[in-house]
C-alpha cells in the first residue's frame, strides 16, 4: 500500500488533522497516477482545473462538479484508489435511498468505517448509551448504510442487536403507484415485528425513523413498553419537525433521550445531534475535515448568512473516497460549527422546498 507523503491521511481514529494540509494531501492521493481511483483519474483532464495545484483547502472543494449522478452507473471497482495496492478491505457497497431516482452506489472501506465508528461511538456515549444495552433497529438493511452502521455501533458497545428490516423503496413505490392500502399493510407488518421484540426482549436503545416512531406511538401498549424499557431513542432518515420532536420528548416519551442522526450515503456516514436543551434547534456537526457541510443559496450557490435557510452541500474527503461538492436534496439553517471544525453545522433539516413543490419527494417509512 502506498504511504509516501500521505501519513496525514492515516491519522489515528479520533484524531482531526489540520484541515487544509489534510485536503492538499488528499488531492495528491486521489489524483496521483499510482494512488488515485480510475473514477477520478479518468475525469482529471475534464475538470477545468488542477486539483493538486488549485485545491488548497476545504473552500476550494466547491470547484469540483457534482459527480453524484455518475454514481448510479459506475463500477464499484473504479471507485477504489489504486494506492491500496489490492489490499483494500471492502466493508460493503451501499446505495442511496433512491428518493430522487435510481440509487447511487458508494464503496465503503474498512479504514474509513473504523474512523467513522470511533467518532460516532464517542457521541453515543455522551447520550448515555452504555456497554451491553440491548439495541433494536427498525431500519433499512441490505444495500442501505444505516442498518450496517447501527449494527457495528451496537457491536462496539458489546451489545445484543435486534433488527427489523424495512424496504423503504417498496413503500415509496406503493405510494407512487397509488396503493396506500398496501403501503399501510406493509407498515403495520413492520410495527408487529417491532412489537414482538419490545414485548419479549429488554430493549434499551431503539433506533428507527420518524415515520416508524410515529406509527409505534399510535399503540398504547407499545408506548408503555418503550417508556418502561427504552433509555435512548435514535432517529434517522426522514425529517422530524420541531413540533413533533418536542411532542415526543415531553409528552409521548418523557424521560427518554431522543437524538437525531443526519447523514447519507454520499458522506459515507452520519452526524449525531449536538447535545443541547430540549427546546434548542436540532443541530448536526460534521466529522470534519473528513466530512464537511456548507449551506448555500440554491440559485447563486453562495453561502447564506448564519441563521438563514439554504441548500445543504456536502463533502467527503478521506483516503478511501472523494465525494466533493454534492448538492443535497435537503435544506437547513446555517449554524456556526464547533471550535476547531471547518465548514458549517446544520439545523432544522427538511427536504428541499423546490423538490417538495415539484412532487419529487416521496417519504414513506424512511
d(CA 313, CA 297): 10
Note the pTM of the prediction, 2 decimals.
Answer: 0.93
Per-residue confidence at 145, pLDDT binned at 50, 70, 90?
Answer: very high
Q: Does 129 reside within a domain?
A: yes
The whole-number pLDDT of residue 169 equals 87
Q: Does 338 reside within a domain?
A: no
Q: Does 322 reside within a domain?
A: no
The whole-number pLDDT of residue 4 equals 60
The whole-number pLDDT of residue 353 equals 81
Range of the domain at 61: 7-286
C-alpha dihedral (246, 250, 256, 258), degrees to nearest 10: 0
Considering only CA atoms, give the Rg of the chain.
20
The whole-number pLDDT of residue 276 equals 86
Q: Does 294 reside within a domain?
A: no
Per-residue confidence at 99, pLDDT binned at 50, 70, 90?
Answer: low
Q: Is the pLDDT of residue 362 over 80?
A: no
d(CA 336, CA 175): 38
Per-residue confidence at 5, pLDDT binned at 50, 70, 90?
Answer: confident
Q: How far from the centroid of its chain's Cα atoms is residue 102's Cα?
A: 18
The whole-number pLDDT of residue 238 equals 84
Q: Does 143 reside within a domain?
A: yes
In the numeric block, which cell numbers belong to residue 182? 398496501
Please give the share of the chain, as a percent, with pLDDT higher than 70. 95
Q: Does 365 reside within a domain?
A: no
What is the tally of structural domains in the chain?
1
Q: Is the pLDDT of residue 312 over 70?
A: yes
Q: Does 26 reside within a domain?
A: yes
CB 9 within 8 A of CB 318: yes
Q: String of b and e for 114-123 (b: at least 16 CB within 10 Å)?
A: ebbbebbbeb
The whole-number pLDDT of residue 97 equals 72
The whole-number pLDDT of residue 281 equals 86
Q: Is the pLDDT of residue 149 over 70?
A: yes
Residue partners of 226: CB distance under 8 A and separation at least 6: 198, 206, 216, 233, 253, 256
Report the pLDDT averaged over residues 252-280.
92
Q: Is the pLDDT of residue 361 over 60?
A: no
Per-residue confidence at 102, pLDDT binned at 50, 70, 90?
Answer: confident
Per-residue pLDDT of 285-302, as tens digits, reads 999 999 999 999 999 999
CA atoms within a 13 Å half-sphere pointing along the CA-CB vector of 329 = 25
CATH number at residue 90: 3.40.50.12780
- The three-class DSSP label of residue 176 is helix
CB 312 within 8 A of CB 329: no
The whole-number pLDDT of residue 364 equals 60
- The three-class DSSP label of residue 47 is coil
CB 64 within 8 A of CB 23: no
Q: Does 356 reside within a domain?
A: no
Q: Is the pLDDT of residue 346 over 70?
A: yes
Q: Is the pLDDT of residue 72 over 60?
A: yes
Report the pLDDT averaged over residues 305-323.
98
Per-residue pLDDT of 197-208, as tens digits, reads 999 999 999 999
Amino acid at each position: 500500500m502506498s504511504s509516501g507523503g500521505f501519513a496525514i491521511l492515516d491519522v489515528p481514529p479520533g484524531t482531526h488533522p489540520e484541515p487544509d494540509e489534510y485536503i492538499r494531501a488528499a488531492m495528491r492521493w486521489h489524483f496521483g497516477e499510482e494512488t488515485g481511483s480510475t473514477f477520478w483519474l479518468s475525469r482529471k483532464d475534464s475538470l477545468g482545473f488542477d486539483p493538486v495545484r488549485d485545491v488548497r483547502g476545504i473552500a476550494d472543494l466547491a470547484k469540483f462538479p457534482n459527480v453524484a449522478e455518475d454514481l448510479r452507473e459506475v463500477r464499484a471497482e473504479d471507485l477504489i484508489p489504486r494506492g491500496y495496492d489490492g489490499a483494500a478491505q471492502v466493508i460493503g457497497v451501499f446505495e442511496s435511498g433512491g428518493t430522487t431516482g435510481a440509487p447511487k452506489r458508494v464503496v465503503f472501506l474498512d479504514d474509513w468505517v473504523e474512523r467513522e465508528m470511533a467518532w460516532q461511538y464517542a457521541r453515543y456515549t455522551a447520550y448515555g448509551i452504555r456497554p451491553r444495552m440491548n439495541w433494536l433497529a427498525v431500519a433499512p438493511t441490505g444495500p442501505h448504510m444505516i442498518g450496517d452502521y447501527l449494527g457495528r455501533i451496537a457491536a462496539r458497545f458489546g451489545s445484543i442487536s435486534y433488527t427489523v428490516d424495512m424496504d423503504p423503496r417498496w413503500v415509496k413505490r406503493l405510494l407512487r403507484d397509488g396503493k396506500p392500502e398496501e403501503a399501510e399493510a406493509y407498515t403495520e407488518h413492520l410495527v408487529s415485528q417491532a412489537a414482538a421484540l419490545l414485548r419479549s426482549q429488554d430493549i434499551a436503545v431503539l433506533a428507527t425513523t420518524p415515520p416508524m416512531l410515529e406509527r409505534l406511538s399510535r399503540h398504547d401498549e407499545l408506548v408503555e413498553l418503550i417508556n418502561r424499557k427504552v433509555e435512548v431513542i435514535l432517529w434517522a432518515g426522514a425529517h422530524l419537525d420541531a413540533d413533533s420532536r418536542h411532542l415526543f420528548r415531553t409528552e409521548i416519551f418523557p424521560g427518554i433521550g431522543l437524538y437525531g442522526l443526519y447523514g447519507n450515503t454520499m458522506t459515507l456516514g452520519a452526524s449525531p445531534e449536538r447535545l443541547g436543551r430540549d427546546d434548542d434547534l436540532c443541530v448536526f456537526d460534521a466529522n470534519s475535515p473528513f466530512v464537511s457541510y456548507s449551506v448555500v443559496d440554491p440559485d447563486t450557490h453562495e453561502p447564506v448568512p448564519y441563521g438563514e435557510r439554504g441548500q445543504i452541500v456536502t463533502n467527503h474527503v478521506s483516503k478511501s473516497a472523494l465525494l466533493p461538492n454534492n448538492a443535497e436534496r435537503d435544506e437547513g439553517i446555517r449554524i456556526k460549527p464547533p471550535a476547531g471544525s471547518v465548514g458549517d453545522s446544520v439545523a432544522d433539516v427538511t427536504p428541499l422546498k423546490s423538490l417538495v413543490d415539484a412532487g419529487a419527494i416521496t417519504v414513506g417509512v424512511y
